């Protein structure tokens, strides 16, 4: 699979990975947003945000390691017994030593292991058995084809491994505001999460002659907009939202009207503190998703 197709698939996954009901996905065990670069060291922090259905606490977590992932170590937890099995497919188990050290349903926690991902792009599925004071939940479902977890009741934790030069930034809830014939500009919005710190430095799209990261903010009683010439900082692990009235992608010199239901290809370029440059190809739908702030027409390029 080419880097471009892989990144397009990654974005499709992000768009589809929505909660479909409390009974089906009330307690996913997941990895943080974002991908890993081929052959890199990866810290897998499995997030547990709820006990098993009907239970009061999580008492154990067992992670089955996928083929191609080479374990280096696992992080111990106070009050929990840690068992590491490297033979066969490999497994890492954390078990609460007493009821008092179990993880209450109302609390969130991360169980961390580290290792190296494969040297080829693809998808790693970490199957996780969560045991509780009452019952268990086996997060082990893998899609029959593709790698979208939409519709799965108990999906395994997914990690996308991408080629060199492809950004590991997670993009979700992305959209472009529709425009009418003769309109020169519009905005694009999304949520960006970088697993390691980086900066969004430029954007390009065939739908517009120019695309820049802008910021809108109040200065006194006046709303002003300005370009961020140095790019948009994406601190490690923090979600930065581009939304109406704040940071956003300003598209000018539109090549044509953008009707609701159409799609806009876009390339996002990033650069980290070491000067390493990466890019990500995404396709954004035209029209605000349900619940998004789409009020008002596209703003004009004014300062």
**Percent of the chain, pLDDT > 70?**
85
**Distance from C-alpha of 215 to C-alpha of 231, rounded to nearest angstrom:** 11
Predicted pLDDT at 46: 98
Q: Which two tokens stand for residue 50?
A: 């709820």
Instruction: Measure Cα distances from 112 to 32, 70, 156, 187 in Å.
Output: 11, 14, 16, 39
Predicted pLDDT at 245: 87
* Residue ranges of the chain with per-residue pLDDT less than 70: 1-27, 87-88, 218-219, 223, 291-303
Predicted pLDDT at 25: 39
Q: Which two tokens stand for residue 49?
A: 């945000």
**Nearest Cα to Cα of residue 279 among 297, 260, 292, 266:** 266
Three-state SS string over 68-80 comes to CCEEEEECCCCCE
**Distance from C-alpha of 240 to C-alpha of 242, rounded to nearest angstrom:** 7
Helices (H), the chain: 3-16, 22-25
CATH number for the segment(s) 3-17+24-162: 2.60.40.2230
pLDDT tens-digit map of 97-155: 999 999 999 999 999 999 999 999 999 999 999 999 999 999 999 999 888 888 899 99
Diameter over CA atoms, the chain: 68
Q: Which two tokens stand for residue 42?
A: 């990866």
Predicted pLDDT at 222: 72
Domain ranges for the chain? 3-17+24-162, 170-285
CATH class of 170-285: mainly beta
Output the CA angle 75-76-80, nearest 5 degrees.
Answer: 145
Q: Which two tokens stand for residue 150?
A: 């939409």
> Do 170-285 and 3-17+24-162 have the same topology in CATH?
yes
CB 56 within 8 A of CB 131: no
- Which residue's entry shows tokens 């009207």? 257
């Amino acid at each position: 699979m080419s880097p471009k197709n892989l990144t397009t698939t990654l974005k499709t996954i992000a768009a589809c990975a929505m909660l479909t009901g409390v009974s089906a996905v009330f307690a996913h065990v997941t990895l943080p947003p974002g991908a890993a670069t081929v052959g890199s060291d990866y810290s897998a922090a499995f997030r547990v945000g709820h006990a098993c259905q009907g239970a009061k606490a999580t008492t154990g977590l067992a992670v089955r390691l996928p083929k191609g992932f080479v374990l280096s170590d696992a992080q111990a937890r106070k009050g929990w017994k840690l068992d590491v099995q490297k033979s066969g497919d490999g497994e890492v188990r954390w078990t609460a030593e007493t009821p008092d050290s179990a993880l209450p349903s109302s609390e969130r926690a991360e169980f961390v292991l580290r290792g190296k991902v494969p040297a080829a792009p693809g998808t790693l599925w970490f199957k996780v058995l969560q045991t509780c004071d009452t019952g268990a939940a086996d997060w082990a479902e893998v899609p029959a084809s593709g790698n979208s977890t939409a519709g799965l009741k108990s999906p395994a934790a997914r990690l996308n491994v991408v080629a060199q030069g492809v950004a590991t930034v997670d993009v979700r809830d992305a959209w472009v505001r529709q425009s009418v014939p003769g309109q020169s500009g519009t905005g694009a919005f999304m949520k960006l999460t970088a697993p390691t710190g980086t900066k969004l430095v430029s954007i390009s799209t065939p739908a517009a002659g120019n695309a820049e990261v802008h910021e809108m903010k109040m200065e006194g009683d006046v709303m002003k907009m300005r370009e961020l010439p140095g790019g948009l900082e994406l601190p490690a692990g923090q979600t930065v939202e581009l939304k109406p009235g704040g940071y956003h992608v300003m598209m000018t010199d539109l090549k044509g009207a953008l009707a609701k239901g159409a799609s806009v290809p876009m390339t996002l370029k990033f650069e980290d503190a070491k000067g390493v440059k990466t890019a990500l190809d995404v396709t954004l739908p035209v029209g605000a998703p349900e619940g998004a702030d789409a009020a008002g027409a596209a703003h004009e390029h004014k300062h």
